[in-house]
Amino acid sequence: MKKNGKRVTLTIVAALLCAGAAFAGGKSDVPAVGQDAIRIQLKWLPQAQFMGYYVAAAKGYYEDENLKVEIIPGGGDITETAAVYSGQVDVGVTWVSNLIVARANGLDLINVAQIYQRSGLVLVTKKESGITKGADINAATKVGNWMGGNEYEIKALLAKLGMPDKSLIQQGFDMNDFDNGNITAASAMTYNELGLVKNAYEGALGYGGGVNVIDMNDEGVAMLEDCMFVKESWAKANQDKLVRFIRASLKGWKYACENPKEAAQIVFQAGSSVSAPHQEYMAAEVAKLVMIDTKGDPVSPDNLGAFDEAAFRTTLAETQSYAGLADSSAAAKLKALTTAEIYTDVYLKAAK
């Protein structure tokens, strides 16, 4: 996902990083006898977007698999793909498009569990705009996005509507431009910015039902987001440890999705970067992305982390079309990538 919309000072980020690490690591960072250490790098600060890992730690699921897991929050200058590739951490969480671009740039990273089965990206418009679906967007519509790799679905939607050359407006990490009318159709994640637009708790705008939501899943351009990935060479050398980590993490995700209120509280206590009410809203929405696929069908609790080949083909095709890599060698490799190079179900199957 793109970075959470709150602007955070480096001092606060550092404090949250310490809080998250302390929560995940328990009283000691040294594994007990028989425990294997694993470090997982998140894409952003502690929030319900990653609730399955925090629940797995809090409920002792990692300990049950003889693992000592340290959850490393993102933020600041941390790039999760670089952290995993360099060996600073063992496992990472990122969007599949980020993983594809990293692969095109020569990093031997591989998706081992697809946690989010449904895109959380939407465009939100005010009721009075009359824009209720993609087809209502025209050349005069001011469409916003955060960019930086978050815009591929929006570009795919515009191309589908016959507006491939339409310029997107750079959107800030808040919804102020939407609120003041500078952006007509603003990008939002269902579990984050959309809640800040609709809800009335502190820090939210309180629009309630006064907005329309254009869902990328409904528009047929949905891309896969949060996945669990590792370095291929590391996975081959640590198969048993990785399988145990996946199994415990999926157990955490299953519990979190079935008990989102409790999961939200666990993440909040871990050093959440958002308020408790927004965290609870976020947890409920994240559960939908994990438990419902791009077609709107429910995902079996026993099938968490599964790979939908069709969804991967769409994600790869849109990344190939819109990533725009400057390096000619990386661009050529991107065009030649296949879904078989992006994910493997070997470790997931072994974890079941």
Per-residue model confidence as pLDDT tens digits over 267-307:
999 998 789 999 999 999 999 999 999 999 999 999 999 99
Residue type, 242: L
Q: Which residues of the chain have pLDDT under 50?
A: 1-27
The number of distinct structural domains making up the chain is 2
Rounded distance between C-alpha atoms, residue 83 and residue 101, angstroms: 15
**Residues 156, 194 within the same domain:** yes
Q: Which two tokens stand for residue 4?
A: 């959470």
Task: Tell me if 297 is assigned to some domain.
Answer: yes
Task: Tell me if 5 is assigned to some domain.
Answer: no
**Residues 94, 108 within the same domain:** yes
**Residues 100, 229 within the same domain:** yes
Looking at the chain, the number of H-run helices and the number of E-run strands are 15, 10
Residue for token digits 């179900």? Answer: 345
**Residues 237, 94 within the same domain:** yes
Per-residue pLDDT, 274: 86
In which order are the strands placed within the sheet that holds 109-113? Answer: 67-72, 36-41, 91-95, 226-231, 109-113
Q: List, for residues 297-348, the tens digit of each pLDDT value.
A: 999 999 999 999 999 999 999 999 999 999 999 999 999 999 999 999 999 9
The whole-model pTM stands at 0.90
Within 8 A by CB and 6+ apart from 348, the residues are 112, 113, 246, 305, 306, 307
Per-residue pLDDT, 30: 64
**Residues 175, 201 within the same domain:** yes
**Residues 43, 174 within the same domain:** no
**Residues 343, 243 within the same domain:** yes
**Residues 99, 37 within the same domain:** yes
Rounded distance between C-alpha atoms, residue 118 and residue 313, angstroms: 14
**Residues 200, 294 within the same domain:** no
Per-residue pLDDT, 164: 79
Task: Tell me if 1 is assigned to some domain.
Answer: no
Task: Tell me if 4 is assigned to some domain.
Answer: no
Measure the CA dihedral 197/157/114/30, to 10°: -50
Per-residue pLDDT, 77: 85
What is the CATH number for 165?
Answer: 3.40.190.10
Task: Collect contacts of 232-235 with beta carbons under 8 A, ≥24 apart.
Answer: 232/108, 232/109, 232/110, 233/108, 234/87, 234/90, 235/110, 235/112, 235/347
Q: 306 lies in which domain range?
A: 10-118+224-351
Count of all residues that appear for the chain in the document: 352
Burial 142-177 (b: 16+ CB within 10 A, else e): bbbbbeebbbbbbbbbbbebebeebebbebeeebeb
**Residues 24, 67 within the same domain:** yes
**Residues 229, 339 within the same domain:** yes
Q: Are 144 and 172 in contact (CB under 8 A)?
A: no
Last residue of a domain, one of 168, 192, 215: 215
Last residue of a domain, one of 215, 235, 256: 215
Per-residue pLDDT, 259: 98
Task: Tell me if 94 is assigned to some domain.
Answer: yes
**Residues 37, 142 within the same domain:** no
